[in-house]
Chain A
């Protein structure tokens, strides 16, 4: 039962990442692309968590945690660059 539920969730998140990719390619504004990339990072974290439920191992947690932090920092840096033309003033 869990196997089927995990498979369903993985397909949903995969489809969600495809939709994010479409928005990332389409735009139209730069802020849209940043938002799409941020959502893609969050979906990648979900995919990692689901993969380790599927495999029954806990090796991806560090990667998921790092991705959460780096994704946030990247989004903030992109927004800061758009706003000010510089990241560290």
Chain B
């Protein structure tokens, strides 16, 4: 049996925080009204929760088990790098489909089409050189 000490209290606290944040992120995904608001929960809160679990594992294995591996660091790094990219990809796919009124969700307010960008270029896509000469070149 492992000894009760500050390390154990630290690991337990990080684990509880991680579990709580993972739950809150998924609760946000289930409760929020539209996709653009739903994106907040999983991409930020759940990533933080998983990061906490990985930090707890990173402390637990060297301190309690006496073994060390760099896998936790790799997983943390990979998750923190990919979470914004997936959020961007999902938001972009959603934006373009809603703008074209493909499976619309009225809560998003963009089901009737995207508003004008106010520039010669469209919404976050490469669609040729801008017609407005004051815009920076693409």
Contacts and interface: CB of A to CB of B under 8 A. Distances in A.
Interface string B33-77: 001001101100011011001101100110011010101101100
Q: DSSP class of B's interface residues: helix, strand, loop or mixed?
A: helix
Contacts, number: 170
Contacts of A58: 61, 65, 67, 69, 71
A72 B82 contact: yes
* Size class of the contact patch on chain B: 35 or more
A69 interface: yes
Interface string B96-134: 111000011100000000000000000000000000000
Interface string A67-89: 01100100110011011000000
A65 B74 contact: yes
Contacts of B54: 49
Contacts of B11: 2, 5
Nearest to A74: B86
Contacts of A35: 29, 35, 38-39, 42, 90
Contact of B23 (A15, A29, A72): A15
5 contacts: A1-B9, A2-B60, A2-B64, A23-B30, A75-B90
